[in-house]
Structure 1
Amino acid sequence: MISATPIDALAHRLARFIPVTGGHGTGEDPLANIRGALRVGLRDLDLVTRDEFDVQCCVLLRTREMVEVLEHRIAELEGTRAAQAPPP
C-alpha cells in the first residue's frame, strides 16, 4: 500500500498551481480531488512495495551466484572432456 504522507505532500505541491477562484462554497475540495487522482493513478501503475523489491533483489543475487557456479562447473567439465579426447 502506498503511504499517504508522500501523496499528501505531492498534493499540496500540486495545489499551489491551481488558480484560486472566487467561488468558495462549491463543495469541492481541490486538495482532496488531487489526492484522489494521485491515489488512483499510482494504484494503476502496478507498483511493488519496497519489501517485495528487496526480496526479489535477494532472489536475483542468489540466482546469479548459482549461474556463476554452474558456468565454472561447465567450463571444468568441458576442459576435462577436451583433455580426455583422443588426438585426431
Structure 2
Amino acid sequence: MDKKRSKNKAKISTTTSTTSATSEEVNSNEWEFVDMSEQEEDLIHRMYGLVGDRWDLIAGRIPGRKAEEIERFWIMRHEDVFSVKRN
C-alpha cells in the first residue's frame, strides 16, 4: 500500500510543477482583437442580454469559439481603454 501512495505523490508533484511552469498571465494591453462575423457579434450581444457574462454558455452557441475569445471580444469592444486600438 505504501508503494501506491508514493507513486501517487510522485504523479501529483510532477503534474503540479508542469502546470505552474506553463501558465502565464497575459496583460490585457497585449491582446489582439478577435475578429467576429456580423452573425457572431449579433448572437453574442443577444446572448449577453439573456445570460449576462456567462461566457462558457455563449461560446457553446458559437461553433469553434472559446469562452476566453468571447470574453476578450466583449471586453475589447466595450471598454474605453481599447477605444484607441479599435480605430
TM-score, structure 2 as length reference: 0.31
Larger radius of gyration: 1
Which structure has the higher relative contact order (CA within 8 Å, separation 6+)?
Answer: 1
TM-score, structure 1 as length reference: 0.30
